Structure 1
């Protein structure tokens, strides 16, 4: 949940910057950038609608013969043409960042909250690239995979594996998941000594119908769960 909270702070940050920008510009429009384009579409010039005026009245004084004369003339503020374009770019950049952050926050929130997303990720990591989804079909009872996802990995573990997949690649994440799944099955067998890897069980417990034999089939799992050391027949 800390990860989601940080994502939420990103979202709060960008909308706060939106509010500060509008307050700094002093515009009556909350969506100042969109309103500027709407004015252009309706034929209203930036000279009249913009926050940055192009033309204004300037007062200046001229001293002549010991007298000070005050003049008011029309001035052109060329710098505001550049200022308006710069702030317009900043406004639309904030808009792009806000939309991207909101989409990313929603996607990450759904991935961590919805169990179906976590189960789908685990099923993908447990699948073999050689056989597509055929290796996952060997887990005839999907409750084993679900229990592994929710009891062993849990949301933090699934999130960590996603980080590993993003930085080290899908193969590394798949191998780590396979190893964790193997250890989980061994722990289940240790806690249930009546169920062994070579014995088929019909009890309504955790493992039945020779599930361990199928799970440890190195051909279906692409060799990832093959024995580390060569065996010798005696």
Structure 2
């Protein structure tokens, strides 16, 4: 019941999350691998309790007694047996029979379950601590997804409108749909502006704390807490894989690091694939039977059919662990290089800024309709940029294109955590959503650094 309860509890864990704040290599470690191990654990567990994992030969005088047969099978299953090759004489002394003990098969399903939990631990650590910095990726991604979904729903409405059967229906519904589009656009702008404002406040708060304190990299005010903590979590995955090799070596009493290679080099007949030294199909079992005042000792021979299944599990696991170790090390090295090279962060932002400058929706900000002239005195970045003169907008466009300005935007404002959040948004939403957020943050940054002239020329404004 213990293993069954543990499996039910493990199956209720959130093995997969719709929101992705990590890369596919991490997903392979904490989602795919635990799933495969859980599947193998379930298979071995069902084989033990629903099948016949062991069947022992009984002496002739007890052959017709079914109860005795069941007793022998049950006793030998819970007792450590020993492996003696058929071409080797059976040791007479009990001490000599304990050299090649076999008993691991009873705990295979438990170990597989523990292995799955070990692979899940780094992700549990990440989920528990990633919100400490104040910029919880899950919350931010959900807000970005909501804004992006508004945009996609509006595009779907446009497609539906083009598919109307008659012009009459279009005329009748045109006013209603136009109003709906405006409402949807307002909702989207409101959500994206709220998201940009939230990120801006967190970035500014982190920047002020960093100036006041000499922060370590793992301090939540360092501006790189999320990024560095993410690297630590990525580093845990290769470490756990190596630990798995060590545990399996102890559990199977072999050098599991070389297990697959040893199998391949020793295999002479590939029509029969097996390693009977590690996973014996036949093992010996000693049991004592009390008969009145006498205790009679029997040595029986037992067939461990499930060892064929267990052997295949560990061969496949050896291949999978080495594959997982290779890609995890490569992914971790790549992440460390990206963290050390500020040019990578600059290239990420430059790509989206370049695209956004060519799209009228993002730049220059459009002037609002039906608003009074006094709105130009608002201190909100969006309103400030909507009322800029054409000359000032051109100047800012030129400024945004400069590499030196982009580097300052990345280094002084976004920092490592800001880039990390934007990459998470990019994984879960569209390019347009990322560009929208970047330009809204850019407006906050320009106003904060006083790089924009908020005093516009009235003639220039009304001439538009």
Give the TM interval when normalised to the shorter protein: 0.5 to 0.7
Instruction: Give the direction of change, closer, same or farther, for the CA distance of 1:51–1:75 in structure 2 (3 Å limit).
Output: same
Match of 2:250 among 5, 18, 23: 23
Provide the residue aligned with 1:206 in structure 2.
none
Distance, in Å, in 2 between the alignment partners of 1:39 and 1:116 is 51
SS in 1 for 2:283: strand
Alignment RMSD, CA only?
3.6
Could you tell me how far 1:163 is from its partner in structure 2?
0.5
Provide the residue aligned with 2:105 in structure 1.
none
Q: Give the TM-score normalised by the residue count of structure 1.
A: 0.66
Instruction: Give the direction of change, closer, same or farther, for the CA distance of 1:118–1:73 in structure 2 (3 Å limit).
Output: same
**Which deviates more from structure 2 when the two are superposed, residues 155-164 or residues 171-180?**
171-180
Could you tell me how far 1:60 is from its partner in structure 2?
5.7
Verify the 8 A CA contact 1:112 1:159 in the aligned structure 2.
no
Verify the 8 A CA contact 1:57 1:73 in the aligned structure 2.
yes
Check if 1:183 corresponds to 2:183: no
Provide the residue aligned with 2:434 in structure 1.
173
Provide the residue aligned with 2:307 in structure 1.
80
Greater RCO (CA < 8 Å, at least 6 residues apart):
2
Deviations 1:96-139 (A, max 9, x none): 3333332332222222221121111111121217959xx9x965
Provide the residue aligned with 1:154 in structure 2.
415
Check if 1:123 corresponds to 2:384: no
Instruction: Give the direction of change, closer, same or farther, for the CA distance of 1:57–1:31 in structure 2 (3 Å limit).
Output: same
Deviations 1:26-55 (A, max 9, x none): 113423234323433x55865556411123
Instruction: Give the direction of change, closer, same or farther, for the CA distance of 1:112–1:48 in structure 2 (3 Å limit).
Output: closer
Instruction: Give the direction of change, closer, same or farther, for the CA distance of 1:62–1:197 in structure 2 (3 Å limit).
Output: closer
Instruction: Give the direction of change, closer, same or farther, for the CA distance of 1:124–1:38 in structure 2 (3 Å limit).
Output: farther
Provide the residue aligned with 1:98 in structure 2.
325
Instruction: Give the direction of change, closer, same or farther, for the CA distance of 1:43–1:197 in structure 2 (3 Å limit).
Output: farther
Match of 2:263 among 32, 36, 43: 36
Distance, in Å, in 1 between the alignment partners of 2:303 and 2:413 is 70
Alignment gaps of 5+ in structure 2: 1-227, 364-396, 456-460
Distance, in Å, in 2 between the alignment partners of 1:127 and 1:15 is 43
Deviations 1:41-79 (A, max 9, x none): x55865556411123344467899x97765656544322
